[in-house]
Amino acid sequence: MPKDNGIGASDKRREDLRFLTGSGNYTDDINLNGQAYVYFLRSDVAHGTINGIDTAEAAAMPGVVRIFTGADFEGVGGIPCGWQVTSKDGNVMQEPAHPVIAQGKVRHVGEIVAAVVADSLAQARDAAEAITLDIAELPAVVDMKAALQDGATKVHEDLNDNLCYDWGFVEENKDAVDKAIADAAHVTKLELVNNRLVANPMEPRVAVGDYARHNDESTLYTTSQNPHVIRLLMGAFVLGIPEHKLRVVAPDVGGGFGAKIFHYAEEAFCTFAAKQCNRPVKWTSSRSEAFISDAHGRDHVTTIELAMDADHKFTALRCLTHANMGAYLSTFAPSIPTWLHGTLLAGNYTTPLIYTNVKAVFTNTVPVDAYRGAGRPEATFQLERVIDKAARELGVDPVELRRKNFIREFPYATPVAVEYDTGDYDATMDKMLEIADRDGFEARRAESEKNGKLRGFGVNCFIEACGIAPSNLVGQLGARAGLYESATVRVNATGGLVVMTGSHSHGQGHETTFPQVVAEMIGIPAEQVEIVHGDTANTPMGMGTYGSRSIAVGGSAMVRATEKIINKTKKIAAHLLEASEGDIELKDGMFSVAGTDKSVAWGDVTLAAYVPHNYPLEDIEPGLEETAFYDPANFTYPSGAYSCEVEVDPETGTVTIERFVSADDFGNVINPMIVEGQVHGGIAQGIGQALLENCAYDENGQLLSASYMDYTMPRADNLPHMAHYTVDHSCQTPCTHNPLGVKGCGEAGAIGSPPTVINAIIDALQSGGHKVDHIDMPATPDRVWAAMNQA
């Protein structure tokens, strides 16, 4: 039932007013007095030995303040990795040093070799051109399997080889899985690639370092999804600055999608250089720089086998994956192909035996880490593609094969270490099929064929695991961080509230949705609640926003803190009303005594807390400010069923998305308008992965897709039109273990859509008699055309 305020209402976004009028405050909009600019000279070879860097001529050029090289960072820490994975033999992963500026060797195109600080960016860039680099190029390792062969060039000569870790999960199940596959009535096998992507938030990364000599305090303004994490990693591990002397501010941030989670060398450099130069130092990434310095995403090569019995029940799944780490370990890189991927392989199905082996590999490429979905899209793509192939091999309806294996009893403990609390996979499937009008598909296909086109219908189901937790579990899994969230709720004397959250909004609309929750709890207008985020100086220690965790974890912390406020205000109200605390009810911003007409308004109680003349001072303190840290008991498990219809032009191989339907179960929804916007965005990125985007290296480690001229971003005319595009979230099984019953919606679209599109393309091609059972993403016209004409 539509609501006009509070939880469930489509409140318009208050942040829009500044973004629509050019009044936002993004990091690049920050300019400090006396600021200098840094230009990073980056390696143009993928692998090489640095024999010399001659900066003499450059240092004498106009405006140059100072030039830094690796030598200036010898006593400084390296960029740390936040997750340690243990191999199946019990050894911990190989973890190479990750210098801020290259030390002796360069290991990927884009690695920083020198940094020129000058009065203007143009002067810094001019001076960088005058630096003479003597780098002896070494053979580059780019292909993961080649990198693991005996005698392969090592990316890090001090490591044993290029294998970061060799992870088996669940190792105890391996023999049983092997046996089940050997004994199966039918086994479907598929080899596939999950294509390497670049996150590409539209705002390139920016860092502004500042240093105050008078109090020895450093400040970093940065484009981050999690400023507290950057403060901890950079302060404790790189620069040795205690947290009380380091402030990190992430103001308006223009999209993240994972790429702005990580601690990057440029942030440490600007903070370090500001102190060294005793003036603010600013770096603004160009898009070309972003392509060779932002962490990339995905890049898995997988062989997957699905075993079934004679009744088509799934009996076992085996997944062997090579995962590219790039040249260094980015902040959360090791966790993505392991704990965020292996634990998802049950999907929506009752498969009793699952084993995955993941070999993480160093190559001479940009580091690879989380990108929207992070491990979960990879797991879903493999699983849903192999199920679709199995349905074709068995000659059964792909919808019915999925339904035959659905999990229907909850809670459900999977064989891959997680327990789903709720879900209703038939409900989302039914809803999707209803909206998609599958019954009318054959008529639409006939119409397409009349026009010389092939038409295909693809389906996909998925589950997601959001809000990774609890901290004690993730600690056992190798996380070097807690995964709680925090909120401080400050009530002012006249009744307005400020919520200081450890979550960070970079497009998700927290400033609108978080107040909807607090306003509903108290019964006051949302306009009386303001959200503060993104500054370590005025928010409690938080873990930030990624993994669709904001409302499930950050929202829960806010609820807990607000509950503490309500409990205290009820005590004050009881005193004012001369009643028992247990009889006090709070509704619509009024405290009343049950069964009487005695009441006192919210604002009178909050005023009493700050002007405590008539106040139980002997029992409770004045003031109204409470903090809560919320550490969830479990992940949340959103799920969904997606479908799409594509048309393929057999003359050119061009694919168009004619219809798309998503039916998601996000549990309870705070702001439907914002939820739908998140799904639209995720689906666009998923369609981008499926049809357009590819991060390509040549054999020498040169990035071929290093600009928007070469890396195909989805544009408005690549996506389905409004008349045949529905995102539905009406199936709701609330999460059982967080106070709002919410599950998270940020990544669903990016997880659910790539296999949907590929399944539809295969359906279209097979309808034309082409025996094509797989196409790797992106399914560009040339790949589709080649597949059709080979088969």
Please give the single-letter amino acid code of residue 284: T
Could you give the C-alpha distances from 678 to 57, 339, 664, 690, 748, in angstroms and in order?
Answer: 51, 24, 12, 18, 9
Which of 257/630 has CB closer to other proteins?
257
12 binds other proteins (CB under 8 A): yes
| 148-167 positions binding other proteins, by CB under 8 A | none
How far is Cα 28 from Cα 417, in angstroms, rounded to an integer?
43
580 part of the interface to other proteins, by CB under 8 A = no
CB nearer to other proteins: give 28 or 530: 28
Contacts of 444 (CB under 8 A, 6+ apart): 455, 645, 658
Candidates 90, 150, 172, 202; binder of other proteins (CB under 8 A) is: 202
Q: Which is nearer to other proteins, 438 or 680 (CB)?
A: 680
Q: Does 515 interact with other proteins (rule: CB under 8 A)?
A: no
Q: Does 16 bind other proteins (CB under 8 A)?
A: yes
Give the C-alpha separation, 318 to 355, whole Å. Answer: 5
Among 3, 145, 179, 245, binds other proteins (CB under 8 A): 3
Q: Which residue has the tokens 């605390």?
A: 581
Please work out, in degrees rounded to the nearest 5, the angle formed at the alpha carbon of residue 80 by the alpha carbons of 79 and 82: 145
- Contact between 707 and other proteins by CB under 8 A: the answer reads yes
Site for other proteins in 659-678 (CB under 8 A): 672-677
Candidates 7, 9, 436, 779: give the one binding other proteins (CB under 8 A): 9
CB of 147 to other proteins, least distance (A): 31
Nearer to other proteins, 405 or 671 (CB): 671
**CA-wise closest residue to 689 among 755, 786, 641, 744:** 755
Give the x-and-dash track for 69-108 against other proteins (CB under 8 A): ----------------------------------------
Tokens of 218: 């450093």
Indicate whether 684 belongs to the interface with other proteins (CB under 8 A).
yes
Q: Does 782 bind other proteins (CB under 8 A)?
A: no
Q: Answer yes or no: are the C-beta atoms of 711 and 694 closer than 8 Å.
A: yes
Pairing of the two strands 412-413 and 354-362? unpaired
Using the minimum distance from each CB to other proteins, give the nearer residue, 351 or 643. 643
In angstroms, what is the minimal distance from the CB of 19 to other proteins?
3
* Identity of the residue, 224 or 382, whose beta carbon is nearer to other proteins in the bound complex: 224
Min dist CB 713 to other proteins, Å, is 5
Over the window 203 to 232, marking each residue x when it contacts other proteins by CB under 8 A and - when it does not, the resulting string is xx----------------------------
Q: Which residue has the tokens 């450059």?
A: 58
The pair of structure tokens assigned to 65 is 């303040």
Give the range of 470-478, 555-563, 706-714, 764-772 binding other proteins by CB under 8 A.
Answer: 706-714
CA distance 66 to 87: 44
Choice from 33, 597, 717, 790 touching other proteins (CB under 8 A): 717
Q: Output 10 or 188, the one with its CB closest to other proteins.
A: 10
Is residue 529 a contact partner of residue 514, using CB atoms and an 8 Å limit?
yes
DSSP string over 565-613: HHHHHHHHHHHHHTS-GGGEEEETTEEEETTSS-EEEHHHHHHHHHS-S
Q: By the 8 A CB rule, do 380 and 439 touch?
A: no
User: Which one of residues 81, 354, 683, 731 is an interface residue with other proteins (CB under 8 A)?
Assistant: 683
Q: Which two tokens stand for residue 32?
A: 């400090």
The binder of other proteins chosen from 152, 620, 719, 786 (CB under 8 A)? 719
Instruction: List for the chain the helix, strand, coil content (%; round to 5).
Output: 30, 25, 45
Q: Which stretch binds other proteins (CB under 8 A): 86-94, 98-106, 201-209, 526-534?
A: 201-209
704: left (phi over 0), alpha (psi -120 to 50) or beta: alpha
Distance set, CA 453 to CA 389, 457, 762, 768 (Å) = 22, 13, 14, 9
Choosing from 81, 220, 253, 740, the residue that interacts with other proteins (CB under 8 A) is: 253
Alpha carbon separation from 136 to 141, 364, 779 (Å, rounded): 16, 15, 38
Q: Which is nearer to other proteins, 2 or 151 (CB)?
A: 2
Position 704 contacts other proteins (CB under 8 A): no
CB 668 to other proteins: min, Å: 13
- From CA 483, how far away is CA 469, in angstroms rounded? 6
Tokens for 593, please give them.
């005594």
Pick 37 or 637: Cβ nearer other proteins: 37
Size of the site for other proteins (CB under 8 A): 64
Please identify which residue in 173, 200, 321, 382 interacts with other proteins, judged by CB under 8 A.
200
CA dist 312 and 308 (Å) reads: 5
Residue nearer to other proteins on the CB measure, 189 or 680: 680
State in angstroms the smallest separation of the CB of 2 from other proteins. 4
Q: With the CA atoms of 371, 376, 377 and 382 taken in that order, what torsion angle do they form, in degrees rounded to the nearest 10?
A: 140
509 part of the interface to other proteins, by CB under 8 A: yes
DSSP 582: G
The DSSP letter of residue 585 is: E
Residue 653 half-sphere exposure, CB side, CA atoms within 13 Å?
A: 16
Residue 180 or 661 having the CB closest to other proteins: 661
Of 569 and 678, CB closest to other proteins: 678
Among the listed residues 198, 222, 237, 205, the one whose alpha carbon sits nearest the alpha carbon of residue 81: 237
Residue (645 or 763) nearer to other proteins, CB? 645
Q: Which is nearer to other proteins, 232 or 290 (CB)?
A: 290
CB nearer to other proteins: pick between 93 and 435? 435
Q: Is 708 in the site for other proteins (CB under 8 A)?
A: yes
Considering beta carbons, is residue 3 or 245 the nearer one to other proteins?
Answer: 3
Return the residue of 680, 724, 737, 774 that touches other proteins, per CB under 8 A.
Answer: 680
Which tokens go with 595?
A: 């069964």
Q: Give DSSP secondary structure letters for 220-266.
A: EEE--S-HHHHHHIIIIIII---GGGEEEE--B----TTTTTS--HH
| Terminal CA-CA length for the chain | 51
Judged by CB under 8 A, the stretch of 9-17, 69-77, 210-218, 635-643 that binds other proteins is 9-17
273-332: which residues touch other proteins (CB under 8 A)?
286-288
Pairing of strands 529-532, 584-587: unpaired
Q: Does 615 bind other proteins (CB under 8 A)?
A: no
527 lies in the site for other proteins, by CB under 8 A:
no
- Categorise residue 679: left if φ over 0, alpha if ψ from -120 to 50, beta otherwise: alpha
Q: Which is nearer to other proteins, 721 or 771 (CB)?
A: 721
And the tokens for 683? 């689906």
Binding mask 734-763 for other proteins (x = CB under 8 A): ---------------x--------------
Joined together, the tokens standing for residue 284 give 């603004």
CB 693 within 8 A of CB 197: yes
Which of 72, 111, 210, 252 forms a contact with other proteins (CB under 8 A)?
Answer: 252
Q: Which residues bind other proteins (CB under 8 A)?
A: 2-3, 8-10, 12-13, 15-24, 26, 28-29, 31, 122, 200-204, 252-255, 257, 286-288, 506-509, 672-677, 680-685, 707-709, 713-717, 719, 721-722, 725, 749
